[in-house]
Amino acid sequence: MIYLYYDSRTGNVERFINKVVQITGWTALRIQDGLEVQEAGHLITYTTNFGKVPEKTETFMQQQAHLISSVTSSGNRNWGRNFAIAADKISENFDIPTAMKFELSGTLEDINQFIDIIKNQHYDSKRGSEKLDIA
């Protein structure tokens, strides 16, 4: 079973996750205060304030990073170089590979790419996959 841990403020990440779960049957848990993670999984979050990691995501990672195999972030391409940069910051701060970045709630192509990456590439390295840093 693959576990996905996600943070969503405007609903974009939640819509992305709901589509992934509908296709795969994977387990998705929304990050909230007191969430106790027992299983290794993948983080999906958003970028806020033109390039910041959401506070709830940051707190979650400080407590659970040892169980997170990859990070994926949504963003808005209008932010230029700060597009989905939360993934880059989390990757660097917690030494976790970036799986991918997608805009807003993602396209069907984004969803299929995410599923492929998680299913087929995340088992290849120390924490997931060095190959994952394709974003």
pLDDT in tens, 45-100: 999 988 899 999 999 999 999 999 999 999 988 888 989 999 999 999 999 999 99
pLDDT at residue 17, rounded to an integer: 97
Judge whether 114 and 107 are in contact, CB under 8 Å: no
Write down the pTM of the prediction: 0.88
Number of domains into which the chain is organized: 1
Domain limits for position 63: 3-132
pLDDT in tens, 17-47: 999 999 999 999 999 988 889 999 999 999 9
CATH number at residue 72: 3.40.50.360
pLDDT in tens, 118-131: 998 755 444 444 44
CA distance 36 to 66: 13
DSSP string computed for 67-122: GEEEEEEEE-GGGGGGTTHHHHHHHHHHT--EEEEEETT--HHHHHHHHHHHHHHT
